[in-house]
Amino acid sequence: MRRGAFWVSLVIVLGGWEAYVRLSGISPFFLVPPSVVVERLGRWLGTGQLLVDLGASVLLLVAGLGLAAAVAIPAGLSIGVSRSLADALGPYLLLAYATPAPVLLPMLLMWFGFTALTRVLIVAMFAFLPILLNVWWGVRGLDASWLRVARVFCASRRELVLRVVLPGSVGSVLASLRIGGGLALIGLFVAETYGARHGVGYQTIIGAKRMDITGVLAGLSLLGALGVTLEQGLVAAERALAPWRAVR
């Protein structure tokens, strides 16, 4: 039912967009109908360049988000179970969270140059703190009685994390990945402005520099599709691994 509503709304939006452009006589310099965007995507695919650019963007997104998750999830779990760590690091993490990520871009460029590593770090930077903080807060929100029972049975710190905290935080971890995934997609677009030669974001930026509204809309439609695919994949994982937190 919900998917049906989405497709109906999509048809209405695209149909209204197409009709407005066709009937208003607006200049194609400012806006083109979706049929023209689809035609551009078809030509892009026909040259083989679309698969190259899409593959480059997916690889960068997976690398950056994977790096952020690999560091942020264990860190969030550790801070969540340790009051001393939370007291010591919490204020710095909140300060860093309040700092706009683009402010740090010049430092990354000075340290690592215009390299593939820099682009991966940019994507990871956008996703890292949201994942860490949401995992931390998810652990802090666990039922305290679970931890007390584990301690009564003399559970070690390792057993506490593996048998109580981690299973109890699966929903929070997956939810944090959904949030981080959306921000990583923004980081992907930003990263592909620095030294990239392939990528959907890179082609979108090239279109903007050339005042090519069709190229911009084609790139944005692909980025949107990539974001929806990532979101739906994480939602499916959350439903499978944490059915009690089923997304409504």
**Domains in the chain and their CATH numbers?**
41-245 (1.10.3720.10)
Nearest Cα to Cα of residue 172 among 202, 134, 221: 134
Determine the pLDDT at residue 217: 94
pTM: 0.84
Burial call 123-143: b when 16+ CB within 10 Å, e when fewer: bbbbbbbbbbbbbbebbbebe
Determine the pLDDT at residue 194: 83
**Local confidence band at 72 (pLDDT 50, 70, 90 cut-offs):** very high
The Cα–Cα gap between 22 and 42 comes to 21
Burial environment of residue 89 by CB neighbours within 10 A (0 to 12, 13 to 18, 19 or more): middle
130-146 pLDDT tens trace: 999 998 888 887 766 66
Residue 100 clears pLDDT 90, i.e. is over it: no
**Range scoring the smallest mean pLDDT among 41-45, 50-54, 140-144, 153-157:** 153-157
Residue 231 clears pLDDT 90, i.e. is over it: no
Higher pLDDT, 71 or 87: 71
Share of the chain above pLDDT 90, in %: 36
Determine the pLDDT at residue 25: 84
What is the mean predicted confidence (pLDDT) over 109-117?
87
Residue 214 clears pLDDT 90, i.e. is over it: yes
154-193 pLDDT tens trace: 666 676 766 677 777 777 888 888 889 989 999 999 999 8
Higher pLDDT, 96 or 247: 96
Residue 147 clears pLDDT 80, i.e. is over it: no
Burial call 158-188: b when 16+ CB within 10 Å, e when fewer: eebbeebbeebbbbbbbbbbbebbbbbbbbb
Share of the chain above pLDDT 70, in %: 87
